[in-house]
Chains A and B, each alone.
Chain A
Amino acid sequence: MATVLIKDLVKIYPGSGGPDVQVVHGINLDIKDKEFMVLVGPSGCGKSTTLRMIAGLEEISGGTISIDDKVVNNVLPKDRDIAMVFQNYALYPHMTVYDNMAFGLKLRKFPKKEIAERVKEASAMLGLDPYLDRKPKALSGGQRQRVAVGRAIVRKPKVFLFDEPLSNLDAKMRVSTRTEISKLHLKLGATMIYVTHDQIEALTMGDRICVMKDGHIMQVAEPLTLYNTPANMFVGGFIGSPPMNFLHGTIREEGGKLQFVEKNETAKPVVVTLTERLAGLARDRIGKPTVFGIRPEDVQDSLRLTNPDPTRTATVTVEVSEPMGAETFLYLTTGASAFIARVQPTDNFQTDQRIDVTFRVENAHLFDEETGDVLK
């Protein structure tokens, strides 16, 4: 199949009347053969632009894109051997499902028989057989989505590009289609590049995830790596739901041990004794502004622990309790910063209740407040 190599990719939109706008700042990305790469990031991070440059729908302002070691900067979209699935499906409304899928093949002058075979194969794979004679108007959202995917499949391209293909579906449909696309990836074994702003989609589907922000790549890693060892505050805050908690403060040495002290002028600050690993990283940062990052599941209700570590416990106020069924999210405040804890659903909490929470510091991260990068 195919590899995609992005090197120093830049996209600059000429400003109309104002200065030029740069939306992609020289990114590098190496997508391996048969890999499912997810580009994720908030709106305006340049992920869609990057995808469209790979597709050839946007001019490349700088750098190169290679597919299978061939630079495609000046290759027309139709000659890049890629297929793309759009957010709004972009089905041809006047054509039947069959014609929608066959259109690309017809334009490429495939023999009729082969077109029929390929469409048949794709429609069987996607469960579209009963709908081949219908027009898109008569299909549900999910069915349209599958037609759009089918249109990509029949061409048997080197690279599949997905541009937020699930965002127009309802929540339930999204979940099931998600798995279908994952299965499809396994079945086809094709290189796929998938753009989404939904970190759950990214985590569940991607072989690797590329987190982007403001035209820069923040981190490229496998889903769990990304979750457990974010490269910076942005990744930590973006990946995971609810996101990672950040407490701003400084490092101090107390009785030979390094502690993180929250910056809090209104109440008693949270003080956390660091683990060996974190202390090693923070040794030269005493007195410097540092951010303590911890996942909600690592903030525990002290009452539930048989032996809570008092040096890693703080008393905080419950603002809101959000029962999710399988778990409960507690929105807590130290007075200076708000954070979330993931607790047992059986426990009952009242607003303004004062509770003790214990931090599982071995899973925590420290970030440089200035750069936002993780300390390592």
Chain B
Amino acid sequence: MPILSTVGNKTWSQRLFVWFVYGALTFFGASMAVPFMIMLTSSASNDFDYDRYAIAPRSIWSAPDRFMKGTPYFAKPGDLFPHKPALWTSWRSIGLDKETSDEISNRYLKAPESDWARWRLQAADYAAFALAHPLNDTKAAMTREMSAEFMLSHYIDLAVEQEPSLADERGSVREKAALKLLSETWGVPVENYIGINFDLEVGRPITQQSWVPSGGPKWKDFNALRFAVQHGAQTPGVLGAWKDFLKERDYSSEDIKRYSPLPMDAPPELTSLWLEFAQVNAPLSPVIPLSLRETWVNYLTSDEARDLLKLKATQRFDVALYNSLAGTTYADLEDTPFPLPEQGFTDLQPIWKSFVERQYPLRLTSLEVTPELRVRYESFLKKNYGSIRGLNQILGENYKDWSEVPLPVTLPDEQPDQTTGLREVWFSFAKTLPFSDRHISSGDASWQAYLKNKYQTLEVLNEAYGWHLNYWEEAVMPLDKAYAVTYSEHKLAFFSRPFLFNYSTIMRFLVDQGNSIPVTLWLIILSISSSLTVNPLAGYALSRFNLRSKDKILLFCLATSAFPAMVSAIPGYLLMRDLGMLNTFFALILPSAASGMSIFILKGFFDSLPQELYEAATIDGAREWQIFLFVTIPMVTPILAINALHAFIAAYDGWAWALIICQDKSMWTLSVWLYQANTWWAGSPWITTAGFVITSIPTLVVFIFCQKIIMRGIIVPSMK
């Protein structure tokens, strides 16, 4: 009798029960759909919104969200915006702080056109300035994937240049040659294109006093990459717009290809064209001139500055103290002038001097070489190196007298064929010099110089920019405005970038990994066919023939499914090793070829078939294998479909066993590579998530295909 009768009116308690059932079903349905939706959303996310774990990307309907989602392509969390909230220390905190993030975004998105006109001017000025700034003195927020892709294609070109026959080879062969060349050039082994990165170079302590660019071939490549990134290689939508820009100017398609992005050795004509283009279309690039303003503010609030000012241990340097010392009315230390103006700010000058002497990067320092300094230099040399012979040994030179030792104005460039001796000598000498002998440069100062050169007076500048500066030194680089302009020019590209980037990156990775796709396909085919052969045959034999100890065999079959698979992983590995089957398809397939449970189920089904069916077939002239193949198998297709589905899922999704049994990377399946990708991109999980989505598509297709067969149901012979 059914729980709910289909006849008569339902009582309230019955209705309640029905609602409960529907509610429960909806809940369980949602609990299955929600994780998948979160995965889909994550696969279209980036640093900014991954940690939200939302079921749909907010950026679809929220313009401020789209705006903020583009910022990770340019700078560290929140660094583009002046006066960023104190809590904005990570992308996670920014992404979760929707209110503030929206408010900041709306400042730009909802600004009046008059503001935008000024911002476009600021952005254009910034672009012109930034492009002229030396690459060595920039910060660059570059993705590893960008670096890898760029360097790989660069080295493929180089390899083909060296070995023209490579041009006709397959992509993987060219890639291998390129990686070999790259490893030789850099002097570090790089096995995989994804291993190409500039993490060390990007993460260098650029604001430290003693840090200097290392030079060398990798550094040169790094600069080439930075140049490309500066010229639109990484900014969403920019390269496309640049190509159109060139096309409008009647450049041939080869030229367009050659100059996108612009190479370092591009002709001046194109360099100026780029400037024209960038000022309007892409004023901001991820390569940003280094500002030392923050280092200065940090120094002001450091213990050292506190000691210099003889402040109490409990007292902190803040903007109020700054204003009282300098007689100014700043709202934030960020707004104070940098570098400190030479006039005024008397009480702050000692701290500034100390900052320059003790903290300011020496590579940004130049000397005014006077005869008097030259004297001090020679006495420094005598004191530190004793004899000219000793110095010659260090420098690898053959100076006869102290007076011959050169004193460069700035840090000498590293020469690959020479020792770095002079550099170190200059370095240690410059360190000893007082403030008055040092001339310092910085991104900030260069920017201010650029403005001074263009606008001559502060009044003109303030008028043009809508600023209210009292000192040139108060001028900061308008990164936020440059970003707003860049973003507004390429809204669609910014919006689609995370999605496209994540998917193309992971696709590139999965397709590129050796034999992953053919290996996976083979494994699936072999797994399914072995499972569809072994299990029905075993079930059929157990059902049809009077074997001795049939019951015990069946019990054994069932017992195998009582243990979790991982229990047998280590013994299974040892067995495969002793059989010499490691790194072979046998090892991947054999352990799961027979499934006790499905043998049991199939045997049960074969048992339930009427004996007459076999007899009819026998009399019809069928041999045993024909009965098996033409009579019984077609009746168990739904069971076999489930079997095949299981075999497929086990082969396709199973990475643990595949990883244990195959150390040889050429035998790794997609799921093992995906596991590898997961460790590889631990810092940017959205890429792996896109991989999860992609790899779940075949499962879905197979499932849809199988479910048709499964839903058709088992054909039970009706014998009436």
Contact = CB atoms under 8 A, between A and B. Distances in A.
Contacts of B716: 93
A363 interface: no
Interface of A: 55-57, 77-78, 82-84, 86-95, 103-104, 107-108, 136-137, 141, 151, 155, 168
Contact of B620 (A93, A94, A107, A137): A107
B714 to A, nearest CB: 10
Interface string B78-107: 000000000000000000000000000000
| B615, B616, B619, B621, most chain A CB atoms within 10 A | B619
A89 to B, nearest CB: 7
Contact of B719 (A55, A89, A103): A89
Nearest to B634: A94
B647 to A, nearest CB: 23
A271 B610 CA distance: 55
12 contacts: A55-B615, A78-B621, A82-B619, A84-B616, A84-B619, A87-B612, A90-B610, A90-B613, A93-B715, A94-B635, A107-B620, A137-B715
B173 interface: no
Complex A-B, nearest 8 residue pairs according to Cβ-Cβ distance, in ascending order = A104-B620, A88-B719, A90-B612, A78-B621, A90-B616, A94-B634, A93-B717, A86-B612
Contacts of B613: 90, 92
B626 interface: yes
Interface string B606-623: 000010110111111110
Interface of B: 610, 612-613, 615-622, 626, 630-631, 634-635, 715-720
A55 B621 contact: no
Given A57-B615, A92-B613, A136 B620 contact: no
A82 B617 CA distance: 13
Given A88-B610, A94-B635, A77 B717 contact: no
A15 B615 CA distance: 23
A102 to B, nearest CB: 10
A108 B619 contact: no
Contact of A78 (B618, B635, B720): B618
Most buried by A among B620, B630, B718, B719: B620
Nearest to B613: A90
Given A93-B715, A107-B621, A107-B622, A88 B720 contact: yes
A168 B621 contact: no
A82 B616 CA distance: 11
A88 to B, nearest CB: 4
A297 to B, nearest CB: 36
B602 to A, nearest CB: 16
Contacts of B616: 84, 86, 90-92, 151
A89 B613 CA distance: 9
A89 B718 CA distance: 9
A103 B718 contact: no
Find the residue from A57, A83, A87 having the highest chain B CB count within 10 A: A57
B720 A90 contact: no
A94 B615 contact: no
A209 to B, nearest CB: 24
Given A88-B610, A93-B716, A107-B626, A83 B635 contact: no
Contacts of A136: 717-718
Looking at A88, A108, A141, the one whose CB has the most chain B CB atoms below 10 A away is A88
A252 B132 CA distance: 145
Contacts of B635: 93-94
B610 A84 contact: no
A108 B621 contact: yes
Contact of A77 (B618, B626, B631, B634): B618
B615 A151 contact: no
Nearest to B720: A168
A96 to B, nearest CB: 12
A355 to B, nearest CB: 45
Nearest to B620: A104
Interface centre among A84, A89, A93, A137 (most CB of B within 10 A): A93
A78 B719 contact: no
A29 B622 CA distance: 29
B619 A91 contact: no
A289 B246 CA distance: 127
Contact of B720 (A55, A92, A141): A141
A103 B615 contact: no
B718 A137 contact: yes
A78 B622 CA distance: 8
A88 B615 CA distance: 12
Contacts of B621: 78, 104, 107-108
A84 B616 CA distance: 7
**Most chain A beta carbons < 10 A, residue from B612, B715, B716:** B612
Most buried by B among A56, A103, A108: A103
A92 B612 contact: no
B720 A94 contact: no
Nearest to A148: B616
Contact of B618 (A57, A91, A155): A57
Contact of A103 (B610, B612, B630, B715): B630
A75 to B, nearest CB: 12
B403 to A, nearest CB: 105
Contacts of B619: 55-57, 77-78, 82-84, 104
Contacts of A90: 610, 612-613, 615-616, 717, 719
A91 B718 CA distance: 9
Contacts of A151: 616, 620
Nearest to A57: B615
Nearest to B716: A93
Given A57-B618, A136-B718, 8 more contacts: A56-B618, A78-B619, A84-B619, A86-B616, A103-B622, A104-B620, A107-B620, A141-B720
